[in-house]
Each structure stands twice: as structure tokens, then as C-alpha cells.
Structure 1
Amino acid sequence: MAKNENQFEEPEIIYIPDEDGNEEEFEVIMKFEVDGSEHKYMMVVPLESDNEEEDEVYAFRYEEEGDDLKLYTIEDEEEWNIVEETFNTLLGELDESDED
């Protein structure tokens, strides 16, 4: 269904400006492509969180241009549903492989 580029290596950290222009650190937890789409997606979690028990996961469509990374919010509900379903499927596959 999708290609998972997530590998066990040092965490990838990206910086995303908040609404005040302050750079916040996020860890990329997964990158993937959806079959039938040219878009690439990433899931990130904030490195600093007030609630350690349950981190919020954010999804972005992204493009790489050399060393530059451009992030786009997912505003289309249909696209969001596809990304969410793919993420949950890949997460389930990771959980199953951890049980083996």
C-alpha cells in the first residue's frame, strides 16, 4: 500500500516556526509515500511537550529541494483521511513486527 522510509537510525530533527515566528523542534517519526500519489508525507512529534504521556502527532506533505525542506499543511479532508489511514496501517505493521 505504501512505502515506509522510516529506518532505525539517529532521529531526524526539523524546526518549524510557530505562529509567533519562534522555531520549535520536532522529531520526524515516519516518512512515507501513498500509492497512486506523487506526494511525500511525514509525521512529526514535538521534542518539548507539556504532556509527556501523549504526544500530539502532526502530519505534513513535504517536498525536498536540495537541502531545503518545504512543508505543506494537509487541508483537504480526503487527502487527510488517506494519510491517516496509511499512517495507522504502517504503525500496525511496525507493532506486528515488534511482536515477532
Structure 2
Amino acid sequence: MDVTTARTRLEGMLAELDRSIGVLRGDPVAVRDRSTADAGSDLTDADRAQAMLTVATTQRRAVIEALKRVEEGVYGLCVDCRRQVPEGRLEARPDAARCVQCQGKRERRR
């Protein structure tokens, strides 16, 4: 993927993530008289929203880091081994920082 296309896709991803994060951080729903079951449902919804916010925030950081790599002229190089990240991987995940092999190693360590 060329740098111009990567920058455009990453900036689009960042804008979409910012919109999603804004929605997830929205004003809390006004408290009103509700049944206990509804309160439990609200807690589940809040937990789900918090999990989605965590994922979106993590992905936002990855996109910002990818944009930094574009600016530094190292976009598309694995941050661990410095080999070229496969084109297909960058097409699927423009924010990918590692080649498949290094990403696999990182995930196995977790």
C-alpha cells in the first residue's frame, strides 16, 4: 500500500474511532424509576459500552502510532524485526505494526 493511501485510510479510521468514542462516552441516561431487572440490564449495557470504549481507545492508539510511522517514513516496516509487513496484512489492517511472524510471537507471550 502506498503511503498516500495508507495515510488516507488511517485518517478515516481515526475520524470514525473518534466518532465512536464520542458516542460511547455520551451523557449518562437520566435515572428514572425502573424495575430491578431494568437496572441489571442497564449495568450489562454499561459494561458492554465500557468494553467497546476500551477496544476503540486501544485501536485509536494503534492508528495514531501508524500515522507517526507514516510521518517518520517507516510505515510498512515491522517495528520488531524491521522486515516489510506483507501488503495483504496492511490492506486488511492499515494500523498493523508487526509482520505476521512477530505478531504471532507477541500474542503467544501474552
Length-normalised TM-score, structure 2: 0.31
Tell which structure's C-alpha radius of gyration is larger: 2
Structure with greater strand percent:
1
Structure with greater helix percent:
2
Length-normalised TM-score, structure 1: 0.33
